[in-house]
Structure 1
C-alpha cells in the first residue's frame, strides 16, 4: 500500500533591509491591508504516478489556499504582520488521490523594529506555541527606478536576489532520505515614497517607503487599502507568548516534527511514503 503526504509550509517571510532614516511626523502611523495569491501557471507539481488530472486539481487547491488576507500595522519605528483569518483546508477529492491540501502559517504574528534590530514571531509548531527571537539581517535592494501606479500612489520597483537552501525528505521501506538543494528566487517589491515607513508585507523591510506590492517566487502580496493616521490611535502589541527560541532552534524543532509525521504515515508493511515536491 502506498500513501502520499503533501507538506506545504508558508515559512516566515524573507527579512531584508538597508539603513533607513525616518523622516516626517514623529507620530506617523497606519494600517495596510493585503491580499495574497499564487501564480499556478508556472507551478511545477511533480510526483510519481501523478496524472494530468491530479496535477491540475492540486494546482486549483493551491490557488484557493493561497488567497488570504493580511494586516500590516505600522509606525515610523515598528510594525506587526498577521493573517486576518485562517482558511479551512480544501476537501480531498478522487482527482487528488485522496489528498487534503493545506497551507500552514502557524497562526503567527510577526513584529519588526529596525531601530533595535529586533524581530519577534509568535507562532505554533505542530500545536505548541513558540516565540522566535532573531536579529534583522541586512541585505541590499537594487532600486531600478521603474515606476507604476497602485491606487493613488506612484510606486518604485526594487529587486533582491534571495538564495536559500531547500530540503526534501522521503521515506521508503522505513528508510529516510534527505536532499538539500540551493534555490534562487528574485524578490520584487514596489514601494511608495509618499508613505515614509520602512516596512512591507510578509516581514519585508528596508526600502524608503511602504511596500505596496511584493512578488516572491510564485507568491504575490498586493495592498488593497491603506489608512494613514486614523482618528483612533494605533496600538502595536509586541508578541510575548510561547517558549522563547532562536530561528535555528525553531527550524530544528519543525524538521524533527516533520520527520516524526513522515514516520507516522509510513505503512510499515513494505509500502512507500511519498513526498510530492511543489515549486516554480
Structure 2
C-alpha cells in the first residue's frame, strides 16, 4: 500500500509540473470590414484603388501569440511600414487606442503592458486587467483539430460616422459633420478547453481555454496555426521601451493629438503640405 501511495504521489507531482510548464505559440489572422464613405464622383479610379489597397493592407494582419499558464505576449508577425502618400501629398493617419504593437498580459498578477507607437512617439501603457464578464454557452464547433465552445459578452463602443470627400483634383477632407455615438455591441469568442490557458489574441482573454476565434463588430480574428510545447522553450518578454503611462492617460493623449491634427489640417486653411485623412479605429 505504501509503495502504491508513493507511485501515485510521484505521478500527481509529475502532472502538476507539466501543467505549470505548459506553453505554446498561436498564429492569428485579422480582418476588418471597411465602411469608409468616399465621394467617387470626384475621385479618379486609380486614386480610389490605391486608397482601398492601403486600407486593406493596414487591417489584414498576422499576429503571433506566445503563451503559458500565467502570461502571454501578442505581437504583429511582420511590422507594416508607415502608410505612404496616395496622391497629391495626401497621407492617412491610423490611430487606435485598442491596438498594440506589443501586448504583454499577466493574468496571475492581473496586469498588462502595451507598447504603442503613436505620432512618432513610443508609449508604454501599464495598467490592471479589466474583468471580462463572459457568458458561456453550450454551442460548439470545430476549429482545426480543436473543439471550441461559444462565449459572448457585451460592451459599449463609440461609433464614428463620417464621410470623406474630394476637394478639387487631389486634396481629400474629412466631413465636418462627423457624428459620434455610443452603442452596445455583442462580442463572440470561440475557445477550446483542450488548451487550458485563459489567454487569447489582442485584448481578448479570460475564458477556460485558449480563444481561437473572435467576432467583434467589423473585426474578425481567427487562429490559423498552433504549436504546443515546442522543442525550444517559449520566451515571453515584457516590453520595456517607451514613456510609461496608464491606459486612460494614453487615450487622453491620443484624443488631444487628433484634435490638434484636425485643427492643423482644417479644410478652411491653406494646405501647403498636402491633406491627411484621419481614420479612427473605434471599439
Q: CA deviation at 1:92?
A: 5.9
Alignment of 1:265-276 (within 5 A): 265-269=265-269
> What is the alpha-carbon distance in structure 2 between the residues aligned to residue 59 and residue 38 of structure 1?
12
Displacement after TM superposition at 1:23 (Å):
11
Q: Distance in 1 between matches of 2:162 and 2:177?
A: 6
CA deviation vs aligned residue, 1:62-101 (integer Å, no higher than 9, x gap): 333321110101000010111111234676667xx98555
Q: Which residue pairs with 2:222 in the alignment?
A: 222
Greater CA radius of gyration, 1 or 2? 2
Q: What is the RMSD computed on CA atoms of the aligned residues?
A: 3.5
The residue aligned with 1:45 is 36
Match in the other structure for 1:240:
240
Say if 1:126 and 1:98 are closer, same or farther in 2 by CA, change over 3 A.
closer
Q: Secondary structure at the match of 2:226?
A: strand
| Paired position in structure 2 for 1:181 | 181
- Is the counterpart of residue 143 in structure 1 residue 133 in structure 2? no
Give the whole-Å Cα distance in 2 for the aligned partners of 1:260 and 1:108.
Answer: 23
* Residues 94 and 280, structure 2, Cα contact 8 Å, conserved in 1: no
Provide runs of 4+ in structure 1 moved above 2 Å: 43-47, 49-65, 86-94, 97-107, 164-170, 176-180, 266-280
- Alignment-derived partner of residue 250 in structure 2: 250
Distance in 1, Cα, partners of 2:279 & 2:68: 41
CA distance in 1, matches of 2:257, 2:217: 26
- 1:92-111 paired onto structure 2 within 5 Å: 100-101=91-92, 103-104=94-95, 108-111=101-104
> Are the aligned partners of 2:63 and 2:75 in contact in 1 as well (CA < 8 Å)?
yes
| TM-score, reference length from structure 1 | 0.75
Contact persistence 1:141–1:159 (CA under 8 A): yes
Partners of 1:164 and 1:250 in 2: how far apart?
A: 17
Task: Give the Cα–Cα distance (whole angstroms) in 2 for the partners of residues 227 and 207 of structure 1.
Answer: 20
- Counterpart selection for 2:117 from 105, 112, 124: 124
Matches within 5 A, 1:22-61: 25-39=19-33, 43-46=34-37, 49-51=39-41, 57=49, 61=54
- 1:114 is displaced (CA, Å) by 1.3
Equivalence map 1:10-25=2 (5 Å): 25=19
Do the aligned partners of 1:194 and 1:209 also contact (CA within 8 Å) in 2?
A: yes
- Runs of 5+ consecutive residues of structure 1 not aligned to the other structure: 1-21, 171-175
Contact 1:37 1:220 in 2 (8 A): yes
* Deviation of 1:44 (Å): 3.3
TM-score of the two chains, using structure 2 as the length reference = 0.74
Structure 1 position 208 matched with structure 2 position 208: yes
Q: Which is bigger in relative contact order (C-alpha 8 A, separation at least 6)?
A: 1
Residues 169 and 275, structure 1, Cα contact 8 Å, conserved in 2: no
CA displacement at 1:24 relative to structure 2: 6.7
Residue aligning to 1:197: 197
Where do residues 58-73 of structure 1 align in structure 2 (5 Å cutoff)? 61-73=54-66
Q: 1:87 to 1:104 in 2, by over 3 A?
A: farther
How many corresponding residue pairs?
A: 248
SS in 1 for 2:80: coil
